[in-house]
Structure 1
Amino acid sequence: MTTFTSHQLVLTAIGEDRSGIVSELTQLVSECNCNIIDSRIAILGNEFTFIMLLSGDMAAISRVEHTLPVKSVELGLLTMMKRTSRHTENEFGAGYTLEYSGLDTQGTLSRVTRFFAEQKMSICSLKSDTFEEQGEMHMSCLLEFNTPCELDFDQFKEKFEELSGISNVHYVFRRIR
Protein backbone atom coordinates (compact mmCIF):
# COMPACT_ATOMS: atom_id res chain seq x y z
CA MET A 1 0.00 0.00 0.00
CA THR A 2 1.41 3.34 -0.92
CA THR A 3 0.67 6.50 1.01
CA PHE A 4 -1.05 7.88 -2.10
CA THR A 5 -3.75 5.18 -2.09
CA SER A 6 -3.92 4.55 1.64
CA HIS A 7 -6.94 5.74 3.58
CA GLN A 8 -7.42 5.57 7.34
CA LEU A 9 -10.28 4.65 9.64
CA VAL A 10 -10.57 4.92 13.41
CA LEU A 11 -12.60 2.04 14.80
CA THR A 12 -13.83 1.89 18.41
CA ALA A 13 -15.54 -1.16 19.94
CA ILE A 14 -17.06 -1.41 23.42
CA GLY A 15 -18.73 -4.41 25.00
CA GLU A 16 -18.74 -6.89 27.83
CA ASP A 17 -15.26 -8.28 28.41
CA ARG A 18 -14.84 -11.86 27.27
CA SER A 19 -12.26 -14.05 25.59
CA GLY A 20 -11.99 -13.96 21.80
CA ILE A 21 -13.21 -10.42 21.03
CA VAL A 22 -9.79 -9.19 19.94
CA SER A 23 -9.34 -12.19 17.69
CA GLU A 24 -12.75 -11.67 16.05
CA LEU A 25 -12.14 -7.97 15.38
CA THR A 26 -8.59 -8.35 14.11
CA GLN A 27 -9.68 -11.22 11.85
CA LEU A 28 -12.43 -9.04 10.34
CA VAL A 29 -9.92 -6.25 9.71
CA SER A 30 -7.47 -8.69 8.10
CA GLU A 31 -10.17 -10.27 5.91
CA CYS A 32 -11.09 -6.78 4.66
CA ASN A 33 -7.41 -6.25 3.64
CA CYS A 34 -6.78 -3.45 6.14
CA ASN A 35 -3.70 -2.97 8.26
CA ILE A 36 -3.80 -2.08 11.96
CA ILE A 37 -1.46 0.90 12.32
CA ASP A 38 -2.11 1.59 16.01
CA SER A 39 -4.36 0.13 18.70
CA ARG A 40 -5.27 0.41 22.38
CA ILE A 41 -7.20 -1.95 24.64
CA ALA A 42 -8.55 -1.19 28.09
CA ILE A 43 -10.88 -2.90 30.52
CA LEU A 44 -13.08 -0.29 32.21
CA GLY A 45 -15.35 -1.85 34.83
CA ASN A 46 -16.61 -5.01 33.14
CA GLU A 47 -16.41 -3.41 29.69
CA PHE A 48 -13.82 -4.13 27.05
CA THR A 49 -12.74 -1.16 24.90
CA PHE A 50 -10.67 -1.49 21.75
CA ILE A 51 -9.55 1.41 19.57
CA MET A 52 -7.76 0.77 16.30
CA LEU A 53 -6.37 2.97 13.57
CA LEU A 54 -6.69 1.11 10.28
CA SER A 55 -5.21 1.81 6.88
CA GLY A 56 -6.11 0.44 3.48
CA ASP A 57 -7.22 1.37 0.03
CA MET A 58 -10.71 2.82 -0.46
CA ALA A 59 -12.25 -0.60 -1.14
CA ALA A 60 -10.73 -2.14 2.02
CA ILE A 61 -11.90 0.72 4.24
CA SER A 62 -15.40 0.48 2.71
CA ARG A 63 -15.47 -3.29 3.37
CA VAL A 64 -14.77 -2.69 7.07
CA GLU A 65 -17.45 0.01 7.21
CA HIS A 66 -20.02 -2.36 5.68
CA THR A 67 -19.12 -5.61 7.49
CA LEU A 68 -18.44 -4.29 10.99
CA PRO A 69 -22.06 -3.39 11.89
CA VAL A 70 -23.22 -7.00 11.35
CA LYS A 71 -20.23 -8.41 13.24
CA SER A 72 -20.73 -5.96 16.12
CA VAL A 73 -24.36 -7.10 16.57
CA GLU A 74 -23.18 -10.72 16.48
CA LEU A 75 -20.57 -9.98 19.18
CA GLY A 76 -22.78 -7.70 21.28
CA LEU A 77 -20.50 -4.70 20.74
CA LEU A 78 -21.19 -1.02 20.39
CA THR A 79 -18.96 0.23 17.57
CA MET A 80 -18.16 3.55 16.03
CA MET A 81 -16.04 4.38 12.98
CA LYS A 82 -14.68 7.60 11.57
CA ARG A 83 -12.53 8.16 8.52
CA THR A 84 -9.42 10.17 9.18
CA SER A 85 -6.14 11.11 7.54
CA ARG A 86 -2.53 10.67 8.46
CA HIS A 87 -1.60 12.60 11.60
CA THR A 88 0.80 15.46 11.01
CA GLU A 89 3.01 16.22 13.94
CA ASN A 90 3.07 19.81 15.07
CA GLU A 91 6.47 21.19 15.88
CA PHE A 92 7.27 20.74 19.52
CA GLY A 93 10.21 21.43 21.77
CA ALA A 94 10.39 18.14 23.63
CA GLY A 95 8.34 15.18 24.84
CA TYR A 96 7.86 14.23 28.48
CA THR A 97 5.96 11.94 30.76
CA LEU A 98 4.34 13.11 33.95
CA GLU A 99 3.57 10.53 36.59
CA TYR A 100 1.68 11.70 39.64
CA SER A 101 -0.11 10.07 42.57
CA GLY A 102 -1.82 10.96 45.81
CA LEU A 103 -5.07 10.64 47.70
CA ASP A 104 -8.06 10.33 45.39
CA THR A 105 -9.75 13.72 45.48
CA GLN A 106 -12.40 14.92 43.09
CA GLY A 107 -11.19 17.26 40.34
CA THR A 108 -7.45 16.49 40.35
CA LEU A 109 -7.33 15.18 36.79
CA SER A 110 -9.52 18.06 35.62
CA ARG A 111 -7.16 20.62 37.22
CA VAL A 112 -4.08 18.95 35.70
CA THR A 113 -5.52 18.73 32.19
CA ARG A 114 -6.80 22.33 32.37
CA PHE A 115 -3.30 23.45 33.45
CA PHE A 116 -1.79 21.60 30.47
CA ALA A 117 -4.31 23.21 28.09
CA GLU A 118 -3.49 26.67 29.45
CA GLN A 119 0.22 25.97 28.84
CA LYS A 120 -0.53 24.86 25.24
CA MET A 121 0.67 21.30 25.92
CA SER A 122 -0.33 18.50 23.59
CA ILE A 123 -1.36 15.45 25.64
CA CYS A 124 -0.51 12.34 23.60
CA SER A 125 -1.71 9.68 26.03
CA LEU A 126 -3.24 9.51 29.46
CA LYS A 127 -3.87 6.62 31.86
CA SER A 128 -5.39 7.16 35.27
CA ASP A 129 -6.34 4.67 37.94
CA THR A 130 -7.63 4.51 41.52
CA PHE A 131 -6.73 1.93 44.13
CA GLU A 132 -7.20 1.30 47.82
CA GLU A 133 -4.18 1.48 50.11
CA GLN A 134 -4.30 1.25 53.90
CA GLY A 135 -8.06 1.87 53.92
CA GLU A 136 -7.88 5.04 51.78
CA MET A 137 -8.54 5.57 48.10
CA HIS A 138 -5.52 6.74 46.11
CA MET A 139 -5.08 7.67 42.47
CA SER A 140 -2.25 7.62 40.00
CA CYS A 141 -1.91 9.07 36.54
CA LEU A 142 0.58 8.81 33.71
CA LEU A 143 0.51 11.42 30.93
CA GLU A 144 2.70 11.67 27.87
CA PHE A 145 2.87 15.15 26.39
CA ASN A 146 4.70 17.41 23.97
CA THR A 147 5.82 20.91 24.88
CA PRO A 148 5.68 23.95 22.61
CA CYS A 149 9.07 25.11 21.27
CA GLU A 150 8.84 28.44 23.09
CA LEU A 151 8.07 26.91 26.51
CA ASP A 152 10.36 27.74 29.44
CA PHE A 153 10.26 24.29 31.06
CA ASP A 154 11.73 25.47 34.36
CA GLN A 155 8.96 28.05 34.70
CA PHE A 156 6.41 25.41 33.72
CA LYS A 157 7.73 23.08 36.47
CA GLU A 158 7.48 25.89 39.05
CA LYS A 159 3.84 26.48 38.14
CA PHE A 160 3.14 22.76 38.26
CA GLU A 161 4.76 22.59 41.69
CA GLU A 162 2.13 25.08 42.91
CA LEU A 163 -0.64 22.97 41.39
CA SER A 164 0.75 19.77 42.91
CA GLY A 165 0.71 21.42 46.35
CA ILE A 166 -2.93 22.45 45.95
CA SER A 167 -3.83 18.98 44.65
CA ASN A 168 -1.64 17.18 47.23
CA VAL A 169 0.08 14.93 44.69
CA HIS A 170 3.63 13.67 44.28
CA TYR A 171 4.97 13.78 40.74
CA VAL A 172 7.91 13.03 38.46
CA PHE A 173 8.65 14.47 35.00
CA ARG A 174 10.81 12.43 32.61
CA ARG A 175 12.03 13.61 29.23
CA ILE A 176 11.39 10.97 26.56
CA ARG A 177 12.24 12.84 23.32
Structure 2
Amino acid sequence: MTTFTSHQLVLTAIGEDRSGIVGELTQLVSECNCNIIDSRIAILGNEFTFIMLLAGDMAAISRVEHTLPVKSMELGLLTMMKRTSSHTESDYSAGYTLEYTGIDTQGTLSRVTRFLAEQNISICSLKSDTFEEEKQLHMRCVLEFNTPSELNFDQFKIKFEELSSISNVQYVFRRIR
Protein backbone atom coordinates (compact mmCIF):
# COMPACT_ATOMS: atom_id res chain seq x y z
CA MET A 1 0.00 0.00 0.00
CA THR A 2 1.91 3.07 -1.18
CA THR A 3 -0.69 5.81 -0.98
CA PHE A 4 -3.34 6.87 1.47
CA THR A 5 -6.01 7.28 -1.21
CA SER A 6 -7.52 3.97 -0.11
CA HIS A 7 -10.39 3.75 2.34
CA GLN A 8 -9.80 5.03 5.87
CA LEU A 9 -11.20 4.18 9.29
CA VAL A 10 -10.82 5.98 12.62
CA LEU A 11 -10.69 3.46 15.45
CA THR A 12 -10.86 4.40 19.14
CA ALA A 13 -10.34 1.90 21.96
CA ILE A 14 -10.78 2.62 25.67
CA GLY A 15 -10.25 0.26 28.58
CA GLU A 16 -8.39 -0.48 31.76
CA ASP A 17 -4.67 0.14 31.27
CA ARG A 18 -2.66 -3.07 31.16
CA SER A 19 0.30 -4.49 29.31
CA GLY A 20 -0.26 -6.02 25.87
CA ILE A 21 -3.31 -4.06 24.64
CA VAL A 22 -1.38 -2.15 21.98
CA GLY A 23 0.17 -5.37 20.68
CA GLU A 24 -3.23 -7.08 20.47
CA LEU A 25 -4.86 -4.19 18.61
CA THR A 26 -2.00 -3.58 16.19
CA GLN A 27 -1.80 -7.30 15.43
CA LEU A 28 -5.52 -7.37 14.59
CA VAL A 29 -5.08 -4.37 12.27
CA SER A 30 -2.10 -6.01 10.58
CA GLU A 31 -3.89 -9.35 10.16
CA CYS A 32 -6.77 -7.48 8.47
CA ASN A 33 -4.25 -5.99 5.97
CA CYS A 34 -4.70 -2.40 7.14
CA ASN A 35 -1.98 0.17 7.63
CA ILE A 36 -1.85 2.48 10.68
CA ILE A 37 -1.17 5.91 9.19
CA ASP A 38 -1.63 7.93 12.39
CA SER A 39 -2.14 7.06 16.06
CA ARG A 40 -2.25 8.47 19.58
CA ILE A 41 -2.16 6.82 23.00
CA ALA A 42 -3.08 8.40 26.31
CA ILE A 43 -3.52 7.12 29.84
CA LEU A 44 -6.35 9.04 31.51
CA GLY A 45 -6.86 8.04 35.12
CA ASN A 46 -6.60 4.24 35.04
CA GLU A 47 -7.96 4.08 31.49
CA PHE A 48 -5.97 3.42 28.35
CA THR A 49 -7.08 5.26 25.19
CA PHE A 50 -5.77 4.39 21.72
CA ILE A 51 -6.85 6.26 18.60
CA MET A 52 -5.72 5.05 15.17
CA LEU A 53 -6.31 6.15 11.61
CA LEU A 54 -6.26 3.06 9.42
CA ALA A 55 -5.97 2.80 5.66
CA GLY A 56 -6.75 -0.16 3.47
CA ASP A 57 -8.86 -1.40 0.61
CA MET A 58 -12.58 -1.92 1.14
CA ALA A 59 -12.14 -5.58 2.12
CA ALA A 60 -9.45 -4.78 4.71
CA ILE A 61 -11.51 -2.01 6.33
CA SER A 62 -14.56 -4.30 6.42
CA ARG A 63 -12.48 -7.06 8.09
CA VAL A 64 -11.49 -4.67 10.88
CA GLU A 65 -15.10 -3.56 11.30
CA HIS A 66 -16.26 -7.16 11.63
CA THR A 67 -13.46 -8.64 13.77
CA LEU A 68 -12.86 -5.77 16.20
CA PRO A 69 -16.12 -6.14 18.23
CA VAL A 70 -15.26 -9.74 19.25
CA LYS A 71 -11.63 -8.83 20.06
CA SER A 72 -12.83 -5.80 22.04
CA MET A 73 -15.04 -7.99 24.22
CA GLU A 74 -12.14 -10.40 24.82
CA LEU A 75 -9.90 -7.50 25.89
CA GLY A 76 -12.57 -5.67 27.90
CA LEU A 77 -12.39 -2.61 25.64
CA LEU A 78 -14.99 -0.12 24.54
CA THR A 79 -14.37 0.58 20.85
CA MET A 80 -15.79 2.93 18.31
CA MET A 81 -15.14 3.12 14.57
CA LYS A 82 -15.99 5.62 11.87
CA ARG A 83 -15.11 5.61 8.20
CA THR A 84 -13.42 8.75 6.96
CA SER A 85 -11.40 10.09 4.04
CA SER A 86 -8.03 11.79 3.64
CA HIS A 87 -7.71 15.14 5.39
CA THR A 88 -8.05 18.14 3.09
CA GLU A 89 -5.61 20.91 3.94
CA SER A 90 -7.07 24.39 4.26
CA ASP A 91 -5.35 27.65 3.36
CA TYR A 92 -3.23 28.39 6.42
CA SER A 93 -0.27 30.72 6.59
CA ALA A 94 1.63 29.24 9.53
CA GLY A 95 1.59 26.71 12.33
CA TYR A 96 2.38 27.38 15.98
CA THR A 97 2.50 25.74 19.36
CA LEU A 98 1.06 27.52 22.34
CA GLU A 99 2.12 26.33 25.77
CA TYR A 100 0.56 27.89 28.84
CA THR A 101 0.74 27.20 32.57
CA GLY A 102 -0.83 28.65 35.68
CA ILE A 103 -2.77 27.86 38.79
CA ASP A 104 -5.56 25.44 37.90
CA THR A 105 -8.72 27.47 37.40
CA GLN A 106 -11.99 26.15 36.02
CA GLY A 107 -12.80 27.40 32.52
CA THR A 108 -9.31 28.40 31.33
CA LEU A 109 -9.11 25.78 28.57
CA SER A 110 -12.62 26.69 27.46
CA ARG A 111 -11.72 30.41 27.24
CA VAL A 112 -8.53 29.67 25.27
CA THR A 113 -10.16 27.30 22.77
CA ARG A 114 -13.14 29.63 22.31
CA PHE A 115 -10.74 32.53 21.67
CA LEU A 116 -8.90 30.49 19.02
CA ALA A 117 -12.18 29.54 17.36
CA GLU A 118 -13.22 33.22 17.22
CA GLN A 119 -9.98 33.88 15.28
CA ASN A 120 -10.78 31.01 12.83
CA ILE A 121 -7.75 29.14 14.11
CA SER A 122 -7.67 25.38 13.58
CA ILE A 123 -6.43 23.34 16.55
CA CYS A 124 -4.39 20.33 15.35
CA SER A 125 -3.53 18.80 18.71
CA LEU A 126 -4.09 19.52 22.37
CA LYS A 127 -2.65 18.03 25.55
CA SER A 128 -3.53 19.34 28.96
CA ASP A 129 -2.89 18.10 32.46
CA THR A 130 -2.55 19.23 36.05
CA PHE A 131 0.30 18.90 38.52
CA GLU A 132 0.92 19.87 42.11
CA GLU A 133 3.56 22.47 42.87
CA GLU A 134 4.16 24.11 46.23
CA LYS A 135 0.97 22.49 47.61
CA GLN A 136 -1.15 24.09 44.88
CA LEU A 137 -2.72 22.51 41.78
CA HIS A 138 -1.39 23.93 38.50
CA MET A 139 -2.46 23.36 34.90
CA ARG A 140 -0.37 22.96 31.79
CA CYS A 141 -1.59 22.92 28.20
CA VAL A 142 0.18 22.53 24.87
CA LEU A 143 -1.78 23.23 21.69
CA GLU A 144 -0.65 22.99 18.10
CA PHE A 145 -2.62 25.16 15.70
CA ASN A 146 -2.72 26.61 12.19
CA THR A 147 -3.41 30.27 11.52
CA PRO A 148 -5.56 31.46 8.63
CA SER A 149 -3.88 33.56 5.94
CA GLU A 150 -5.91 36.65 6.81
CA LEU A 151 -4.94 36.63 10.52
CA ASN A 152 -2.83 39.55 11.70
CA PHE A 153 -0.60 37.64 14.11
CA ASP A 154 0.65 40.76 15.92
CA GLN A 155 -2.93 41.80 16.76
CA PHE A 156 -3.72 38.21 17.69
CA LYS A 157 -0.82 38.16 20.18
CA ILE A 158 -2.02 41.44 21.77
CA LYS A 159 -5.52 40.00 22.23
CA PHE A 160 -4.09 36.77 23.61
CA GLU A 161 -1.96 38.74 26.08
CA GLU A 162 -5.19 40.27 27.43
CA LEU A 163 -6.76 36.81 27.74
CA SER A 164 -3.68 35.39 29.49
CA SER A 165 -3.70 38.28 31.94
CA ILE A 166 -7.38 37.70 32.78
CA SER A 167 -6.76 33.94 33.05
CA ASN A 168 -3.56 34.41 35.07
CA VAL A 169 -1.44 32.12 32.86
CA GLN A 170 2.07 32.36 31.49
CA TYR A 171 2.45 31.35 27.85
CA VAL A 172 4.89 30.87 24.98
CA PHE A 173 4.17 30.81 21.23
CA ARG A 174 6.58 28.95 18.93
CA ARG A 175 6.34 28.90 15.15
CA ILE A 176 6.61 25.33 13.88
CA ARG A 177 5.81 25.72 10.18
- TM-score (ref. length: structure 1): 0.98
Q: Secondary structure at the match of 2:92?
A: coil
Q: For 2:92 and 2:20, locate their aligned partners in 1 and report how far apart those are by CA, in whole Å.
A: 40
Please show how residues 19-168 of structure 1 align to structure 2 within 5 Å.
19-168=19-168
Amino acid at match of 2:28: L
Deviations 1:131-173 (A, max 9, x none): 0001000000000000000100000000000000000000000
In structure 2, list runs of 5 or more residues that go unmatched. none
Is contact 1:164–1:170 with CA below 8 Å preserved after alignment?
yes
| 1:13 matched to 2:13 | yes
Q: For 1:97 and 1:23, locate their aligned partners in 2 and report how far apart those are by CA, in whole Å.
A: 31
Amino acid at match of 1:149: S
Q: For 2:6 and 2:95, locate their aligned partners in 1 and report how far apart those are by CA, in whole Å.
A: 28
Q: Secondary structure at the match of 2:95?
A: strand
Q: For 1:3 and 1:73, locate their aligned partners in 2 and report how far apart those are by CA, in whole Å.
A: 32
| Residue 126 of structure 1, CA deviation | 0.2
Is contact 2:123–2:144 with CA below 8 Å preserved after alignment?
yes
| Residue 19 of structure 1, CA deviation | 0.1
Q: Secondary structure at the match of 1:71?
A: helix
Runs of 4+ deviating beyond 2 Å = 1-5
| Residue 4 of structure 1, CA deviation | 8.3
Q: Secondary structure at the match of 1:106?
A: coil
Amino acid at match of 2:105: T
Q: For 1:2 and 1:82, locate their aligned partners in 2 and report how far apart those are by CA, in whole Å.
A: 22
Q: For 1:155 and 1:175, locate their aligned partners in 2 and report how far apart those are by CA, in whole Å.
A: 16
Identity %: 86
Amino acid at match of 2:170: H
Q: Secondary structure at the match of 1:62?
A: helix
Q: For 1:127 and 1:3, locate their aligned partners in 2 and report how far apart those are by CA, in whole Å.
A: 29
| Residue 95 of structure 1, CA deviation | 0.2
- TM-score (ref. length: structure 2): 0.98
Is contact 2:11–2:80 with CA below 8 Å preserved after alignment?
yes
Deviations 1:18-51 (A, max 9, x none): 0000000000000000000000000000000000
In structure 1, list runs of 5 or more residues that go unmatched. none
Amino acid at match of 1:130: T
